[in-house]
Structure 1
Amino acid sequence: MDKRSALLLAFFLFACGSVYAWNEPPKDSTVKDSSLQKAAGFLKKITLGGVFQARYTVSLHHDVDVNGTHQPNSDEVVRNSFSLKRARLQVKAQVSDRFMAAVLVNLADFSSDPKGKVLENAYISYRWNDAVNFTVGQFRPSFGLEDLYPVDIIRSMDFSNQYYAFGNNGWQSFQVGVSMFGSFNKDTKVPVKYALSVVNGNNRNQPSDDDNGKQGTARLEFGNMDKVAVGLNGGYGDAKRKNIYALGVDVSGVIPISSRVDLQLQTEFKQGTNHKNYFAIPDSLRVDPLSKYLMHGVYVLPNIRYKINYHKLTSIELSMRYEYFNDDFKHSGNARRSYIPMISLAFLKDYGGRIQLGMQIDNYDKDIAGTKTHNSNLMIVQVQCRL
């Protein structure tokens, strides 16, 4: 491990140790009733959960397939198909009043090459109090709005393009490492949440890190997402002995329109080093140092929800996400603009059942034949069931 990575990890461990020291009970404290201590400290409660998502996709371009890939020379382009998007199974074990373990797998990943896939979450969490919690293992470090909830309750068809790009670069999505998080002032007008993480940064299901560098992230969130909340995100680290960074800001909130209708708004901006792109370019073709290979993007997602509560139907929702993303804006980056209108019917509580009808419209500055970097229009019907 190089000096910068060692200092980053040492700082994190020092912060954890300091918090523990502040909260350590007096050495002479005793527990009067040992039976109550055992009952409170050894629960072993196991819960099962999961989500199933199936799709029917139609491409509206004659030379673009259902995956959004341009197929200029194919005898037959597959322009409509049924597919299994996600088949997730989650197991959580409340080992004690402080320890919890969780495993999440996506069995739909077996439909393609499962290498580096399938296993999504695999971690142990320790809760000291509302302000101090720890997670160790494979998890999603908090670095933006989309890290705060699973994909099955988002107000669009899928996560944003920037989420997957920053995840590929080690800042978001499933990573291996350690995290400390918590909340303060929960009962005040402006509650505060924080999250600190140190991860390998080479994505999920890897036997070990691919270099000595580590990536550290921090998030501060002010407010309540049910009303108005603002999040500040920052990250710094090393990749193959080169400095990398990422930053972002997000705003979310709910505006009541009537007793049955509300407007939910989410917007997010991020910028960071695209070191995966940099290291994929042959040395002879690189024109600048790593610090010049930058990506940035912004999206706006308004969602109008009409509450019905008629039998099992709980709401009808209409959303429209617009996103701009450029993976190399300092050079000849190919900006991508995405428009995703969607209407959905939500059943039961917390999207226990859902039917979604939407479009994924992608426009690039420059089309590249034979690739996914090509204009496309996909119509998607998705059915979802949460366990």
Structure 2
Amino acid sequence: MYSHFTAFQMRLFLIGASCFTQLNAQQLQSQPSVKKDTIKKTVSFVKNIKAGALLVSEYRSSLTENVDMYGKHSSTGTDARDGLFLRYVRLSGNYQISDKMSASVLVNLADFKNNPQTRVLENAFIKYTFNKYAVLYIGQFRPFFGIEDMYPYEVRHSYVWSNQYEEFGRNGWQSFQLGLGLSGSLADKGIPITYYVSAVNGNGKNMTGDNDRNKDLTGRVEYQVNKHLKVGINGGTGRYDHQTGTAYGIDMQGEMPLASKWILAMDAEYKNGTNFNEYIASKVVDKKLGDYRMGGVYFTPSVKYNIGLSRVKALEFSTRYEYFEQLIPNGNPRTTITPFFGILLDDNYAARLSFGMVFDRYKRQVENSNQWNANFFFTQFQFKF
């Protein structure tokens, strides 16, 4: 075999080896010492600042006579049957203070259209990463109590948040709250579990302080069954008026390919919890907090078709079915069906045009209130950068 290795080939090999050796030596000389590299990385962490924005504009129209675009019935009629408005004008900033610590801020300027006293500021927290198993949150954040706390608005599979998310948020179990949180993952230990725990004031965002001496404690555990299915279990407890309230729930997220360009996904969630607001508003004498509970279930099957064109990336269709009782068992159960169609104009939901309908049905219709059967049409455009 050596007879085929000619003198010319030998010279080429020696020249190549010499060049590689010289380049490698230059690279080693150009590399800083370990100490200098550590200092360089520390400086880069201090200067690492990321900013973003989300714009969501919407047109909404009531298709039901005497019901306005927000769902409120009027026995004398209403002129506010449709309109254009901004749902979100979010500005976000993330500041990497060190390799362990960062700060995040999120504001929604669209909230200035309402009374901004307890609005506008959404996220404002410091995150300290001890390791993969323990990440600490301090400030105002969403305290991880269900699927909808786990992703931002722009990647949802349906129109706005669910009815149960809105109501659990108003009662301090979800949405933006002030407090402490801790999360971690055991995935690198071969255990497909992620946990979240939090202790929050439970009286909403942007408050000057707590409205009592008690804190709402919540916890969530996620189990990755396989690469297509994740299951979450939620639990919480809180006190008001020297009585204990509780909340619990279970949810699942599934996603699997149907073909080369088709993806089937499913979100489903059930929750039940104390409705502190209904208890506070009640005029009943000698009332018990345990008698004021809310709960419901929803599931959202969706299908996504990846087109992959330069201007249209994918098409998405879903239908969310939701049943929710604001007060169990003496309330007025609400059933909502929401067919939704989205056109993804850029990757990662950076731009999407969507259309759909909302069909609301109540067990009992109450005149001059939001508890009235109604149908709505909507279209949204979202843009994120």
TM value normalised by structure 1: 0.88
1:283, distance to aligned residue in structure 2 (A): 4.1
The amino acid of 1:296's aligned partner reads G
Q: Matches of 1:79 and 1:352 in 2, distance apart?
A: 30
* Shift in alpha-carbon separation, 1:250–1:225, aligned structure 2, 3 A: farther
CA change 1:118–1:82 in 2 (3 A) is: same
Q: Could you tell me which residue of structure 2 aligns to residue 29 of structure 1? A: none
Counterpart in the other structure of 1:200: 201
Amino acid in the other structure paired with 1:256: P
Please identify which structure carries the higher helix content: 2
Confirm or deny: 8 A CA contact 1:225 1:252 kept in the other structure: no
Letter in structure 1 aligned against 2:166:
Y
Correspondence 1:143-222 to 2 at 5 A: 143-186=145-188, 188=190, 191-222=192-223
Aligned counterparts of 2:130 and 2:37: Cα–Cα separation in 1:
18
Separation in 2 of the partners of 1:207 and 1:108?
22
| Structure 2 letter corresponding to 1:119 | L
Three-state SS of the structure 2 residue aligned to 1:279 is helix
Structure number with greater Rg is 2
Matches within 5 A, 1:50-65: 50-65=53-68
**Deviation (angstroms), 1:34:** 4.6
Aligned to 1:354: 352
- Determine helix, strand or coil for the equivalent of 2:328: coil
Cα deviations by residue, 1:192-218 (Å, 9 ceiling, x for unpaired): 100010000001000000000101111
For 2:323 and 2:145, how far apart are their aligned partners in 1? Answer: 19
| Partner Cα separation in structure 2 for residue 172 and residue 289 of structure 1 | 23
Counterpart code for 2:358: Q
Identity of aligned residues (%): 36
Length, aligned pairs only: 351
One-letter code of the match for 2:290?
S
Give how far 1:224 is off: 6.5
Alpha-carbon shift at residue 225 of structure 1 (Å): 8.3
Distance across 1 between alignment mates of 2:226 and 2:212? 37
Is contact 1:225-1:253 (8 Å) kept? no
The alignment status of 1:46 with 2:49, answered yes or no, reads yes
Q: Which residue of 2 aligns with 1:138?
A: 140
Distance 1:338 1:187 in 2: 42
TM-score (norm 2): 0.88
CA distance 1:47–1:312, shift in 2 (3 Å): same
Shift of 1:79: 1.2
Counterpart in 2 of 1:372?
370
Distance 1:226 1:66 in 2: 41
Question: Which residue type is aligned with residue 99 of structure 1?
Answer: M
Give 1:284-299 correspondences, 5 Å limit. 284=285, 288-299=287-298
Aligned counterpart, 1:249: 250
| Range with greater deviation from structure 2 (346-355 or 237-246) | 237-246
How far apart are residue 371 of structure 1 and its match?
A: 1.1
Does 2:273 correspond to 1:275? no
Aligned residue for 2:348, secondary structure, equals coil
Report the RMSD for the aligned CA atoms in angstroms: 1.6
Flag structure 1 segments of 5+ consecutive residues without an equivalent.
Answer: 1-31
Provide closer, same or farther for how the CA distance between residues 124 and 269 of structure 1 changes in structure 2, counting only shifts above 3 A.
same
Note the alpha carbon deviations across 1:152-198, whole angstroms, 9 max, x for none: 1100011100001111111110000000101112484x611000100
CA distance in 2, matches of 1:380, 1:187: 46
- Is this contact kept in 2: 1:64–1:77, CA < 8 A? no
Give the partner amino acid of 2:198. Answer: S
**d(CA) in 1 for partners of 2:291 and 2:69?**
34
Which amino acid in the other structure matches residue 53 of structure 1? V
1:41 positional shift: 3.4
> Which residue type is aligned with residue 57 of structure 2?
A
Q: Secondary structure at the match of 1:369?
A: coil
Is the deviation greater in 35-44 or in 86-95?
A: 35-44
Counterpart code for 1:61 = T
Give the AA of the match of 1:104.
Answer: L
TM superposition shift of 1:255: 2.4
Q: Is the Cα–Cα contact under 8 Å of residues 313 and 348 in structure 1 kept in the other structure?
A: yes
Aligned equivalent of 1:87: 89
* Unaligned stretches of 5+ residues in structure 2: 1-32
Aligned CA distance change for structure 1 residues 376 and 118 (closer, same or farther; 3 Å): same
Tell me if the contact between 1:212 and 1:240 (Cα under 8 Å) persists in the aligned partners.
no
For residue 300 of structure 1, what is the aligned residue in structure 2? 299
